[in-house]
Structure formats: structure tokens, C-alpha cells
Chains A and B, each alone.
Chain A
Amino acid sequence: MPKALPEIVDAYKQEGKYLTGKWIGKPVKTKESYRHIRGKGAFADDVQLHRMVYMALLRSPYSHAKILNIDTSKAKEHPGVLLVLTGDDIKKIMRRPFPQPTTPPARNAVDYPLAVGKARFQGEPVAMVIAEDRYSAEDALDDIEVEYDPLPALVDGERALEPDAPLVHDEVGNNVMAHVHYKWGDVDHYFEVADRIVEAKFHYHRFSSTPLEPNVAVADYDERLDIMTIYCNNQAPMEFLPQLAAGLGMPFPKLRVVTRDMGGGFGNKLANWPYIVLAAMASKILGRPVKWVETRTEHLQSATHGAERICYVKAAVTTDGEVLAVKMRCIDDDGAYARHEPAGITVWAQVVPGLYKIKALENDYYAVFTNKCPAAPNRGFSRAPHLFMIERMMDRIARELDIDPVELRLKNLVPPEEMPYETPNGCIYDSGDWPEGLKKALEAANYWEWRERQEEYRKQGKLIGIGVAVGTDSAGPNMGQVRMYNPRLPYSGGTEGALVQITPDGKARVTLGSSPQGVSHETTAAQVVAEVLEMDYDDVYVQTGFDSFTSIYTMHSGTYGSRFAPLGIPAVYIAAARLREKIIKIVAHSLGCKEEDVVLDDGQAYCKQNPEKKTNYRRIARIAYGNIPELPPGMEPGLYSIAIFRPPFTHPNDHNMANLALTYSFNAHVVVLEIDPETALPNILEYVVVDDSGRIINPLVVEGQVHGAAFLGFSAALYEEYKYDEDGNLVNSSFMDYLVPYATETPAFKVIHMETPSPFTPVGAKGMGEGGGTSIQAVINAVEDAVAHLGITLEKSHIDPDTLLRMIREARGEEV
């Protein structure tokens, strides 16, 4: 039975006792916006410290080259320059390179924040300059002379596995970052009994969603207190604190990492820590604060890119359209270093069968090194590319079987009566009515009408394409999935922390373990606290960002993996609920009634029997902090509440089975577009999204996330792609040629909401910010649908007008 066993469901079940709907579900204007609309956002680059100096980096123009010599003597003489360091200097200071997450031999790769011996991707830093001001630091870079011996570049993930391919890391001996072979369910049986095997190759292209704010670090070493304070925009400071501690030789209690407002992240700011380590080392050497701000060109060329994925997919299907099993052989091109990857070869396992009842899946999977920018997450990390393979495959199967792609999906979607649903690898899809969601989207986009008219349009020479895709944002990850490529990693479970305090003036103070990047955690956390503690939203003050000296954290803390709603919000809820219970005890004692008769209402409290006799949070707090004899006997003074939410996640077992994410939101995208037959330029005629993210805490925030996820996918499919030439030069490293759409190119997305609460979180909210990448698959399905009758198929997740025009002309037998 695919329906999950009741004992598993019971173990995950959560209830929210204190939900009234007073604040949760309301379109409350966000706390964060009030700063931003007045130009008062607190971004890392806004930090100005006394005696602050600036760091600039000299980067390798070659993608792969031996570094024969670096002459820094002239740069050191440049006016204003305080310090110049090369990779060899850093190697001496750090003593050992960054710890590698991989298993041998990939583990032998040597990774320092400045290249040592050779450069492995274009833009890899080889030397750094610290100067009194930014302009002088950049000037001095020109005075550094580096002698390179260029080596053949490896720019193709498939080529990386060939025995004669150039070696990115000589110490590794091959280019394999990780290799796994997963088999869930009786794949061979289904391939034997299937009526038909459908095969395809797909290529998830290299792009990143490029937050508008580049990476920034300000490191401030205080010699008197021996404390290193880092202001930065890393999305998960606790992930890199071990690297920072190792690099500086300092213990955690001496390292204060602070994030405040962050100008977007999308996963791209998870692996900026090598730069933070450099700034911190320089600050320690100079005894002065050091600021580093990445330029846009540096960001696009050398920060991190979303991994590129190539998959050979085979599906075992029946003639009437049942998809039984899938076999895959995939390669992730993860670039030059394992700085967050190869996690991507396991993270997709949260969504093994996509949204379908596929019974078995096998994947022989490689992650490889190449001479390209290191890969790290991008919105929809690893699951979006996998859902791309599945959703594109569904369209191919439909075409081969001559079934409408929507009918095929409706036939195979997990039905609501089988929720919570256990996938072949042990993940639990928590709730949802997916067929209904898809139908709603089709109706809103007039799907059947467009299908009918499509043929007519074709006769008139018009190319109309209709693309449909469904997706899920698997959210609140069980980090233990990394043990599926390295079973020794001491990193598992999925947790988040929060502190809720009623301060002595009766207001609420909240700190979070997350590092938000524009996702309104201050607002939604305040709504939950206001609701549970029955107080005014304006009286709840949530600390902006993360501070390792004040935030309650675990090693999983941060903002990634759509984890705030499923993990962070429950921590806030539980902390507030515990505090509520303590407050009720104090009120009962103080007003002389039973606890169950205490009523909390709008920051005030009274006993049911005597509503006239009221107390309030300020008076309760005075007792708790200062007038201790009036507390119930034996009660600990103070009104602090710390909670760390722990779902009952386990390690993956010997068969790589485990529940890998806590909640599964749903979305369906329907895109109708027209391709100009002369220019191949796309024009979006209709774009509808149905979204079900469980219980909505704030509709403004949820809708904003749906818009954003749809936009970034649309943009990746039609505009954004990193293009490398055969020598490993990135040929589009600025906004001049790495195209990101303006308002004039962007369609108006229509959004329809459904609300199926998650049984696994106390508020019922699900993670949803990443959106599962559904728009990419929907847009590509639409483009392919527009030209499929010409015999054209699309392999990639990106299509530009030049390429498409060439395909159209070739298909029509015209000269290209």
C-alpha cells in the first residue's frame, strides 16, 4: 500500500492548540518593508566601521592553468595598500585546506580560498589586496604580476568521465566528485512487464538566479576581547562556522556571525564563505575591520552557479498511460570545488517519483569536477532539475502514446485518498488534492479551449504552444540525505530554533535561527507569536536576521530548502505556546482562579469568572522579572522560552530509505505562448499558477513567493544561461549579456490558491518559497508543444530564439 503506515503518520503528526485565526492567515503588511520603502534597509554593504579597510581580489583569467609565479612587490608599494597575500601565504596561515564533504579519492582535492599551485576555474582568486579604500585596492590588483601556464580545460560533464579527460584535481586521480547507485522498488520487473519503454536525454542548463545584492563580508577582529565579528549575507552561517573556526583557529564562542537584511539569496549565497574566511584572516592580521563587496561581474563569473545536470531517462509504461518505473543515468557538473555539492546527487531523492505513483526508480549517478565555477544551490536545489526530468518525460510519454499530456498526468498523479503517501524510497508526501489543483489551473487558463484552437492557429501559420507542469516544493529537509553519498557525515535530522521572550515591559522579543533574504520571517513569526500569546502584532519585535551570539541555532539553521514554514515556524509556535502556558500559571496564581479559567485577550488576562478584574503582560512581566515572591511557588523567574523543533527524522537506512522532507506543497503551472515563426521570439499569452502551500500564514508573502518562483523559472527557461567556450571562458559575465528580464519582458502571472493544511506542522503551513522549479518545465513544455508538429524536440531546460529559429528552419528544410 502506498498510503503511509498509520504509525509513521502518528509519529509526525502535530497539532496547533492555540490557533484562533486572529493573526494567522491575514494579509498583514510586512515589518521588513517599512524599512526598505524608506531606504533604511540594513544590508551588509551598509556597514561602516571605524578604521575600516577594503579587500579586492585578483582572479585567474584562465579556467585551468598552473601558477608559475606571482610577483606582488609592486602592488605592496602602491599608495594606500596595507596587505597583499597569495595562495601560498594563505596556505601557511591556514595550515590545512577546507575540510571536504566527499569520500576518497575525491576527498583528496585541495581547496583553499585563494588558488594554490593552479587555478581551476575562470575567476578563481589567486591573490588579495587590502587597502585604505576600495579604489586603491582595485588599482593595486593591476600591479600584481602572475605567470600562468595554461592547461587544457574541462568544460563538459560527460567528457569529465572519459579516461583521457584533463584532471581538475591531480590529487584525486579522476574527475569524480561522488558516485551513487540508487535502486528503489523492483525496477527490473516493471521494465519486463511494461508495454513500452520510452527513452530521452535531458539537460538541465547552468544558470543562477543571481540575487540583486552581490556577496558581501565585513570582518571585524577585536583584539581586546579576542572576538571576531562577521557581518555578511550568508544564508546559513552555521553551515560555514566550522570552516571559519578552522581557518582562524578560534572557538565558536569567539566567533560572532551576523546577518541582517539580505538582498536576495536563492541559494546562491550559501557558499560565499571562502571569501568571508579571507576577510576575517586579513582583519586578524591587520587588527582593522575589512570589507569585501563582490562586483556583479565577479558574482556571475565566480560566486556559485546552479549545477548543470544531464540525464538519460527511460520510462516503463503501459499502453494506456500508466507510468510504472523509471531508470536514469545522470551526471551533475559541479564545477571546480566541492563547496556545497555534491549534496545535489542526494537532495533530489526528496521527490523520487515526482508527483506520480511511479513504483520504482533506479539512478546511476555521478557528480563530476570540471573547470567551471563551483556549483551550489539555486532556488529549487536539486529537486527542481529532477522534477524537470520527470515532467519533461511525462510530455514525451504522452506524445509517444498519443495521449493528451494532461490526461496522462491526471492518470498518474497521487490521488488525495492515498495521502499521506509513502514514495518508493520512504518519503512521506503529507497532504494535498493534486488532481483537483491541476484541474483548477487548466480551467483558469482555458486549457481545453486553447487545445481546440491550436490546430486552427497552426493552419494560419501561427506557432502556439501550451505547456503544463505540476510540481512540489519538498520542504524542511532531513539533512541526513547527505549520508547517501558519504555515510560518515555527522549531519542528519532537520531542525530549527527560536526564542520568544516577554520582556519586562510586556512586549515580545523573538530571535530566529534563520537568515532570511527577503522572505518576511519577521512578519510571519510575529503573526504566530501574536496569535499564540493573544497580543498585538505591533508589540512583537523580531530580531532582524541571524546573530550567532543571540539566535537559537542548530547546525542546520539558516534559510534554504524552503525550511522556515515547516521547521522555523514550528519552533516559534512551540516557544510561544510554552510561554503561554507559563503566563497562564502566573495569571491563575495572581488572580486566584484555575488555569483552565484564565482568558488571554489582546495583551490582557483575566479569569472567566471575573472579566472585570484584568491584568496585562506588563504587570505579569513585572512579577516574573522583578516581583518574584508573587510568582507561583517554585516557578523559575523570567519569561524566556527557547524551542528547537525536531521532526522524527531518521538516518537513511542501508537501502537509502528515509523520509527526507517534512512537507510537500503543490503547484500547477499552465503556460500558453506564441513563437514568432520568423524570429522565434516567444510571447507569453497566458500564465496561470495554482498553489497549495498548506495553511497560509500571510497571503501577501505566499503570493509574492509564488510570483518570484514563477518568474525565476520563466527567466531561466527563456533568458538566463551561463555560456562557456571550449577554453572555459565564461562568455556572458555581466548583465549586458547574461540576460535577466525587465518588467517589459515579464508576463503577468495569475495565481490561484488552495489551502490543504499539513498534518505534520503545528500551524499547518508548508514550505513553498522555492516552488519546485515548475515554471521551467512548464515553459519548455510549451515551447516544445509549439514546434513538436515540425518534428522538433528540446533537450535542454533553456531555449533562446537563435537556437529555436535554427531548429525551425532546419525542420522546414530551409537554409540555416
Chain B
Amino acid sequence: MSQQTFHIRVNVNGRWYEADVEPRMLLIDFLRDVLGFTGPHIGCDTGHCGACTVILDGRNVKSCMVLAVQVDGARILTVEGLEQDGQLHPLQEAFWENHALQCGYCTPGMLMSAYFLLKRNPDPTEDDIRKAIEGNLCRCTGYVNIVKAIKSAARKMSTRKQ
């Protein structure tokens, strides 16, 4: 309130948005409360849970650890942007088929960390997968089906490419 604001322009899921924000506003609050992208969630206040993970200019970041003013001019992909032309992303399909979620609160962040992994490493080992989601907490699944789903998505994506 009543603080100086900054004008920012951000591309989220392929569309540009403009807004005036307080310099202290967190990216997660900007995405959720200003733009209405409620896919990314807030699960902690120390940057440990990863529920707010999004892709910022090609990298996965915890959007509670980034200020909105820092993303001026950037491109962001949230979970809402994974689906293309009404088609689920193979990761989304695999999470659904393998029951890789229960309450769904960690899912949007988990999917984005998995997405970032498969961009870099299309054929990850179980160890690679576990390391890639090391910044994302899940309290429901014991990670068993999450690991299984990411493996299955990787397989499907490489078959589709061939």
C-alpha cells in the first residue's frame, strides 16, 4: 500500500501481461493474486517446498524466491501452460494414469520440475528423476508414483519423437 510501484511486462504461457507492482511483491503472489494463475501454490515460507515452481526463461525457479519486478520482460511457463490445443502434455497424462498425485497441491510444481528435467535429459534414470525433484516436497505419495510417472512420460516422449 502507498509504496512506489514499478511497471512490468511479463509473458505468461504465451501471452503478455502488464501491471504496476510494489517492489516487494513476490512472483508467486503476482501470478496468483494479480494475474489469477492459481495453479502454482504456496506451501511454505522458506523456499523448501517447491509447490510454487514455474519455468522462468527456460529454467525452473521457485516463484516465492523471485520478486515480480525481477521478471520484467521475461517469459514464464506455469502448469496452466502445459496443455497445448486441448491436448494434455505427456507428463500430465502420465501423472494422471499413474496416480502420481493425491491432494494435488504439490502437483503443479512437481510437473514443472519434471518438465525442466525432461527438457535437459530425455532419458533420465530413477536417480536422475529423484534428484530433479529434490526441491519439491510431496506429503501424500511417498514419491513412488511420481517417479514412475516421470519415467513413463520420458519413454512416451522419446517414442513419439522417433
Q: A and B bound?
A: yes
Beyond A212-B106, A736-B48, whether A264 also contacts B139 by CB under 8 A is yes
CA–CA, A705 to B1, complex, Å?
45
Contact of A735 among B78, B101, B137 (CB under 8 A): B137
Which of B33, B37, B42, B95 has the most chain A CB atoms closer than 10 A to its own CB?
B42
Asked whether, in the complex, the Cβ of B142 is within 8 Å of the Cβ of A38, the reply is no
A382 located at the interface, meaning its Cβ lies under 8 Å from any Cβ of chain B in the complex:
no
Interface check B134, CB cutoff 8 A: yes
- In the assembled complex, A710 has its CB within 8 A of some CB on chain B: yes
Is the CB of B133 closer than 8 A to any CB of chain A?
yes
Interface residues of A in 23-38 (CB under 8 A from B): 27, 29-30, 32-38
Cα distance A48–B32 in the bound complex, in angstroms: 10
The answer to whether A480 has its CB under 8 Å from any CB of chain B is no
Say whether A749 faces chain B, with CB atoms less than 8 Å apart.
Answer: yes
Interface contact B97-A37, CB-CB below 8 Å: no
- Using Cβ atoms and an 8 Å threshold, which residues of chain B touch A33? 95-96, 99, 101, 104
Given the interface pairs A136-B1, A296-B44, the reply to whether A30 lies near B139 with Cβ below 8 Å is no
Interface string of B129-150 (1 = CB under 8 A from A): 1110111111111111111000
Give complex CA distance A421, B89 in Å. 50
Q: Which of A672-728 contact B (CB under 8 A)?
A: 700-701, 703-705, 707-708, 710-712, 714
Q: Which residue of B78, B99, B129 is within 8 Å of A701 (Cβ)? A: B99
Contacting residues, chain B, for A749 (C-beta < 8 A): 142, 144
What CA separation (Å) do A175 and B102 show in the bound complex?
A: 40
- Among residues 344 to 386 in chain A, which have CB atoms less than 8 Å away from a CB atom of chain B? none
A-B contact count (CB 8 A): 190
CA distance A450 to B139 in the complex (A): 30
How many residues does chain B have at the interface if contact means C-beta atoms less than 8 Å apart? 61
| B119, CB-defined interface residue at 8 Å | no
Tell me the bound Cα distance from A32 to B104 in angstroms: 8
B residues touching A (Cβ–Cβ < 8 Å)?
1-2, 22, 24-25, 29, 32-33, 36-46, 48-49, 51, 78-80, 82-83, 88, 92, 95-97, 99, 101-108, 111, 126, 129-131, 133-147
B79 touches A520 (CB 8 A): no
A375 to B43 Cα, complex, angstroms: 21
- The 7 nearest A-B residue pairs measured at CB: A39-B39, A518-B103, A36-B104, A711-B142, A263-B105, A39-B79, A735-B48
Q: Are A711 and B105 in contact (CB under 8 A)?
A: no
By the criterion CB–CB under 8 Å, are A708 and B79 in contact?
no
Q: In whole angstroms, how far apart are the Cα atoms of A736 and B45 in the complex?
A: 10
Residues in chain B near residue A136, CB distance under 8 A: 1
Specify which of B48, B79, B106, B135 is in contact with A38 (CB 8 Å cutoff).
B79
Let me know if B49 and A212 touch, CB within 8 A: yes
Instruction: Report the separation of the CA atoms of residues A46 and B144 in the bound assembly, to the nearest whole angstrom.
Output: 28
Interface residue? A214 (CB, 8 A): yes
Q: Which residues of A contact B44 (CB under 8 A)?
A: 296, 734-735
Q: Is A41 an interface residue (CB 8 A)?
A: yes
Among the 9-residue stretches A144-152, A219-227, A574-582, A737-745, the one with 4 or more Cβ atoms under 8 Å from chain B is A737-745
- Residue contact A79 to B1, C-beta cutoff 8 Å: yes
Contact B137–A740 (Cβ < 8 Å): yes
Q: Residue of B at shortest CB range from A297? A: B45
Known: A213-B105, A704-B141, A707-B145. A742 touches B134 (CB 8 A): yes
Known contacts A135-B1, A212-B139; A734/B45 CB under 8 A: yes
Contact of B96 among A34, A266, A518, A519 (CB under 8 A): A34
**SS class of chain A's interface: helix, strand, loop or mixed?**
loop
- By size class, the interface of chain A is 35 or more
B99 touching A700 by the CB < 8 A rule?
yes
Q: Across the interface, do B43 and A214 meet the contact criterion of CB distance under 8 Å?
A: yes
Whether A30 touches B46, Cβ cut-off 8 Å, given contacts A735-B137, A743-B147, is: no
Across the interface, do A743 and B146 meet the contact criterion of CB distance under 8 Å?
Answer: yes
Q: Which residues of A, 555-589, contact B by the 8 Å Cβ criterion?
A: none
Q: Which residues of A contact B97 (CB under 8 A)?
A: 29
Cα distance, A211 to B82, chains bound together (Å): 25
User: Cβ of B107 and Cβ of A36 under 8 Å apart?
Assistant: yes
Interface: A755 (CB within 8 A): no
Kindly state the separation between the CA atoms of A732 and B56 in the bound complex, as whole angstroms.
31
For A520, the chain B residues whose CB sits under 8 A away are 102
Interface residue? A209 (CB, 8 A): yes
Residues B103 and A262 in contact, CB atoms below 8 Å apart: yes
B27 to chain A minimum Cβ distance, whole angstroms, is: 14
Q: Does A210 contact B (CB under 8 A)?
A: yes
| 15 CB < 8 A contacts A-B | A29-B97, A37-B95, A37-B104, A37-B111, A40-B80, A80-B2, A135-B1, A136-B1, A210-B139, A213-B43, A705-B102, A735-B44, A743-B133, A744-B130, A744-B134
Q: Does A625 lie at the interface of the complex (its beta carbon under 8 Å from any beta carbon of B)?
A: no
Asked if B103 and A740 sit within 8 Å, CB to CB, the answer is no
A39 closest partner in B (C-beta): B39
Q: Specify which chain B residues have a CB less than 8 angstroms from the CB of A518 in the assembled complex.
A: 101-105, 140
Distance to closest chain B CB from A508 (angstroms): 22
A547 neighbours in B (Cβ, 8 Å): none
B118 to chain A, nearest CB (A): 15
Contact between B139 and A266, CB atoms less than 8 A apart: yes
From A136, which residue of chain B is reached at the shortest CB distance? B1
Task: Assess whether A43 is interfacial by the CB under 8 Å rule.
Answer: yes
- Using known A-B contacts A45-B42, A213-B43, determine if residue A746 contacts B142 with beta carbons closer than 8 Å: yes
B51 surroundings in chain A (CB, below 8 A): 212
Cβ contact within 8 Å between B105 and A742: no
- B45 nearest CB across to chain A (Å): 5
In the complex, the answer to whether B137 meets A132 with C-beta atoms within 8 Å is: no
**Interchain CB contact under 8 A, A703 and B105:** no
Residues in A with CB closer than 8 Å to B102 are 264, 518-520, 704-705, 708
**Are A211 and B88 closer than 8 Å at their CB atoms?**
no
Asked whether A295 is an interface residue with its Cβ less than 8 Å from the other chain, the reply is: yes
Which residues of chain A have C-beta atoms less than 8 A from B111's C-beta?
Answer: 37
Minimum Cβ distance to chain B for residue A592 (Å) = 45
A517 and B139: CB pair below 8 A? no
* Apart from the given pairs A38-B92, A39-B40, A209-B139, 14 other A-B contacts in the complex at a CB distance below 8 Å: A27-B99, A37-B79, A38-B80, A39-B37, A39-B79, A39-B80, A41-B108, A46-B32, A136-B1, A263-B41, A704-B102, A708-B140, A710-B142, A743-B134
**Contact A132-B1, Cβ < 8 Å, known A37-B96, A212-B103, A708-B140:** yes
Residues of A within 8 A of B79 (CB): 37-39
